[in-house]
Amino acid sequence: MKTATLIIFILTFLLASGQTNQNGQFVQTKTEEIKKDNNISELWSLQLQKLDFARQLDTNEIKKLTFDLSDILTYKKDENERLSWLIGALGQNFQKFDVLILSAKHLGQQTYLLKLLFKNDENIDILTGEMSLKTVFELPEDMHKIYIYSFSFAFCSDDKTICLEGINAVSFYALDNLPQNYWYEDGSFNDYVRTFVGTKTNKKTGEKMNCVFAVSPAGLYNYLPFCEDLYWVNEDDNPEYYYIKDKYKQNGWQDFETKDPKTEKWWKE
């Protein structure tokens, strides 16, 4: 308990001293004026390179890192479900979709081979591909260190029809030199736990649309970057709490419950 409390205290302080607004909404303040025709993966990459509240590691420091993130990325029944089941929005109409990280294998030099389930409407596809490390940030702390890794990713179906490409963030803390997951119910620092920003391409039709997915797409301090119009907030109640707008509920969000979004497993065990 003492460790968890200390982590929350440190992160709260860092968020307060970094590039955040008065509500601690780091990502949201950076994307409010983004135009829809911009490459959001490039914008997300630039944003991840400018985390003023953390120290960016140089090339030599990165080479010394020996963490294997495979275990914390992969779905485990009744154990790591929350952080491997991701929910996102596609295109300008914010069509809801789901992703489950089935497996992850460290190929060396912080490159990972991933296998995913991708569910869009009633269709479920298996995607495979790689995540390759781009940048690393470190938040020093007395008992352990917190890291934010930025990867480029590319996942495709076996027939190459569906492809997801872009930039993502993965954060964790190191305990006894082993990576450990964390998740805060109040939403603090969750922007960087698992957030994928990029595009979905249909190779057959040539259709390409924005694709953003994360651990929690709505809630207290939880939202998908570059998807501002998807949400509404109650300024008189809690302006830090993000709700899905009614006009987008028909796009797969009908049964999505902000306070308990993961009530029904859509995959077979």
**Residue 68, in any domain of the structure:** yes
Which has the higher per-residue pLDDT, 236 or 30?
236
**Residue 158, in any domain of the structure:** yes
The sign of the torsion formed by the CA atoms of 158, 161, 165, 170 equals negative
204 CB-contact burial (10 Å; exposed 0-12 / middle 13-18 / buried 19+): exposed
The sign of the torsion formed by the CA atoms of 187, 193, 197, 200 equals negative
**Residue 265, in any domain of the structure:** no
Question: Which of these, 194, 118, 192, 96, lies nearest to 162 by C-alpha position?
Answer: 118
User: Taking the model in full, what pTM does it have?
Assistant: 0.84
**Residue 268, in any domain of the structure:** no
**Residue 259, in any domain of the structure:** no
Each residue of 46-59: pLDDT tens digit?
988 888 888 999 99
**Residue 257, in any domain of the structure:** no
**Residue 177, in any domain of the structure:** yes
Calpha distance 105→66 (Å, rounded): 14
- What's the domain count of the chain? 1
Each residue of 210-220: pLDDT tens digit?
999 999 899 88
**Residue 264, in any domain of the structure:** no
Looking at the predicted structure, is the pLDDT value of residue 199 above 50? yes
Calpha distance 168→115 (Å, rounded): 16
Q: Tell me the residue range of the domain where 157 lies.
A: 2-251
Each residue of 83-97: pLDDT tens digit?
899 999 999 999 999
Lowest-pLDDT range of 1-10, 95-104, 224-233, 248-257: 1-10
Residue 238's pLDDT is: 82
